């Protein structure tokens, strides 16, 4: 199974019709940065009006003099070529009909459906011989008048997606047809624009070429909008149920692949940190693909993956996403509490980054049944000079704090961690719950993790857990 690890680089949908940041960094350096962060794919938004613009804005390309005066379509060509050269794939996103703003429906007075389809067929033909372009996101965030399964050809987004998708596949049957949801669930309840796919299971998008549909919801934290589930007493533990109902069931029941097409945050509030940690765990567990919004630091709501200089990483975000950016090469888990131990076995396969060797099967200690807090080890990627690992920490009763330690021969440092602060002393790693994962209520589970350096991951370490 191929899992997309994407990030949006926007600008071809905005005034100037130019990828943002090209006045500060080169196109190639931006693509290389995304690849080095662990992403595999670039989501490239565009406005239909930019497809017909005569040139990109001069002010937007001052760090790339070779791009001055080219058309937006030529810039799209260059960006796709740069992505390819840096080991990245691309999927295109019809983000807006014009640079003035988004639209509820896939058509407007200025962009009739016939032009929407014609533009998609043109792009499919333009890149049909370039496997770098893997898919088309037909329309960004249907909402408002947009419906699903009503049969009304003027508003039924499902039917429009079939018309648009089949038009694309008539030109290039290898493309993925990425279909977002609406903003209303079958019961009438609201969610994020593009985030409601509750009706897709019973009323699927049916295309002329099988296995081409990828459903693509969007999801955001409370800092973007205070959805009702953020104020629930069981937040953030209720999020899994929310996602299952809105779109996750499609993947869990093997109905169709799912790509979380947008998620993002400035990561400045406790609630947002809880949301992202829970979401990363959900994506990791389900294998659902994702695309972060955005690489750009100039996204007003979410910020980006780099600071305003377009170079310095937003390290806290990358740390929080490490489990999906540097995916596990094996499955299996270990656990322990206090000084308990046990035995078992588990193995699996996956993909990693760099030149990391395939790990060996890892034994699993049995879960402990004593102590106020238990911790479960979940191995991530491991290579000769470091590893990524996650821990699920569960409180049986309320605790003010917790600490977990384990022997990790060869480890000399912890470069990144999320939900805990870690130290290394004589080959022992000790981590203490921090920020949103510090104090735990009875029955609460938090998903935390780290990226360690100096040596490979220990095989099924015995965890020592204390609480206060």
Distances from the Cα of 14 to the Cαs of 7, 86, 119, in angstroms?
Answer: 17, 25, 17
DSSP state of 399: B
Q: How many residues does the chain have?
A: 468
C-beta of residue 24 within 8 angstroms of C-beta of residue 15? no
Exposed / middle / buried, residue 218 (Cβ in 10 Å: 0-12, 13-18, 19+): buried
Q: Residue 361's pLDDT is what?
A: 32
Which domains are present in the chain? Answer: 5-325 (3.20.20.80), 334-467 (2.60.40.290)
Beta-carbon-side half-sphere exposure of residue 80 (alpha carbons within 13 Å): 23
Sign of the CA dihedral with 233 first, then 235, 240, and 246 last: positive
C-beta of residue 48 within 8 angstroms of C-beta of residue 94? yes
Q: Residue 144's pLDDT is what?
A: 98
Q: Which tokens sit at 40? A: 């595999």
Residue closest to 16 by CA, chosen among 64, 53, 67: 53
- Displacement of CA 334 from its chain's centroid (Å): 26
C-beta of residue 132 within 8 angstroms of C-beta of residue 174? no
Instruction: Exactly one of 13, 104, 141, 162 is catalytic; name it.
Output: 141
- Which stretches of the chain drop beneath a pLDDT of 70? 1, 328-370, 380-383, 415-416, 436
The bridge status of strand 373-383 relative to strand 334-336 is antiparallel
Number of other residues whose CB lies within 10 A of the CB of residue 271: 18
141 given a catalytic annotation? yes
Q: Which tokens sit at 291? A: 């695309």
Alpha carbons 90 and 40: distance in angstroms, whole number? 9
C-beta of residue 391 within 8 angstroms of C-beta of residue 414? no
Alpha carbons 67 and 457: distance in angstroms, whole number? 45
Q: Residue 414's pLDDT is what?
A: 83
466, containing H or E segment: strand 464-467
C-beta of residue 398 within 8 angstroms of C-beta of residue 440? yes
Alpha carbons 420 and 436: distance in angstroms, whole number? 9
3-state secondary structure (DSSP) of residue 360 = coil
> pLDDT, tens digit, for every residue of 146-156?
999 999 999 99
420, containing H or E segment: strand 420-425
pTM of the model: 0.73
Instruction: Exactly one of 104, 162, 180, 262 is catalytic; name it.
Output: 262
262 given a catalytic annotation? yes
Q: Residue 362's pLDDT is what?
A: 34
C-beta of residue 32 within 8 angstroms of C-beta of residue 64? no
Residue closest to 452 by CA, chosen among 389, 404, 406: 389
Query: For the chain, how long is the longest CA-to-CA vector?
Result: 69
Beta-carbon-side half-sphere exposure of residue 172 (alpha carbons within 13 Å): 20
Alpha carbons 380 and 332: distance in angstroms, whole number? 10
Q: Residue 328's pLDDT is what?
A: 56
> pLDDT, tens digit, for every residue of 121-173?
999 999 999 999 999 999 999 999 999 999 999 999 999 999 999 999 999 99
């Amino acid at each position: 199974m191929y899992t997309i690890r994407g990030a949006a680089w926007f600008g071809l949908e905005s005034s100037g019709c130019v990828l943002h940041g090209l006045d500060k960094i080169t196109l190639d350096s931006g693509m290389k940065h995304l690849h080095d962060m662990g992403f595999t794919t670039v989501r490239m938004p565009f406005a239909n009006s930019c497809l017909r613009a005569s040139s990109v804005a001069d002010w937007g390309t001052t760090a790339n003099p070779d791009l001055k005066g080219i058309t937006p379509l030529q810039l799209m060509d260059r960006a796709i070529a740069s992505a390819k050269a840096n080991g990245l794939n691309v999927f295109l996103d019809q983000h807006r009909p014009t640079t003035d703003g988004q639209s509820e429906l896939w058509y407007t007075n200025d962009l009739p459906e016939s032009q929407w389809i014609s533009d998609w067929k043109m792009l499919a033909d333009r890149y049909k011989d370039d496997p770098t372009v893997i898919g088309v996101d037909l329309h960004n965030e249907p909402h408002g008048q947009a419906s699903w399964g009503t049969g009304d050809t003027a508003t039924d987004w499902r039917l429009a997606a079939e018309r648009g998708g089949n038009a694309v596949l008539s030109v290039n049957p290898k493309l993925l047809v990425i279909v977002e949801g609406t903003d209303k669930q079958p019961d009438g309840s609201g969610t994020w624009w593009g985030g409601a796919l509750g009706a897709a299971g019973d009323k699927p998008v049916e295309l002329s070429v099988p296995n081409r549909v990828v459903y693509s919801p969007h999801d955001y934290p409370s800092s973007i909008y205070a959805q009702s589930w953020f104020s629930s007493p069981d937040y953030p533990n209720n999020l899994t149920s929310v996602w299952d109902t809105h779109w996750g069931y499609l993947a869990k029941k093997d109905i169709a692949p799912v790509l979380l097409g947008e998620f993002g945050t400035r990561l400045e509030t406790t609630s947002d940190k809880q949301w992202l940690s829970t979401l990363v765990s959900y994506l990791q567990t389900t294998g659902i693909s994702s695309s972060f919004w955005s690489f750009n630091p100039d996204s007003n709501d979410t910020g980006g993956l780099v600071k305003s200089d377009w170079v310095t990483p937003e390290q806290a975000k990358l740390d929080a996403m490490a489990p999906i950016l540097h995916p596990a090469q094996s499955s299996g888990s270990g656990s322990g509490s206090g000084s308990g131990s046990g035995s078992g076995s588990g193995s699996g396969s996956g993909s990693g980054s760099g030149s990391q060797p395939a790990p060996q099967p890892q034994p699993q200690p049995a879960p402990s049944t004593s102590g106020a807090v238990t911790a479960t080890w979940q191995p991530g990627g491991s290579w000769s000079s470091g590893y990524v690992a996650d821990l699920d920490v569960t409180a049986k009763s309320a605790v003010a704090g917790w600490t977990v330690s384990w022997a990790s021969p060869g480890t000399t440092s912890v470069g990144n961690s999320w939900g805990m602060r870690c130290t290394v002393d004589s080959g022992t790693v000790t981590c203490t719950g921090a920020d949103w994962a510090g104090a735990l209520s009875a029955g609460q589970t938090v998903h935390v993790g780290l990226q360690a350096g100096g040596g490979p991951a220990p095989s099924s370490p015995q965890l020592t857990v204390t609480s206060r």
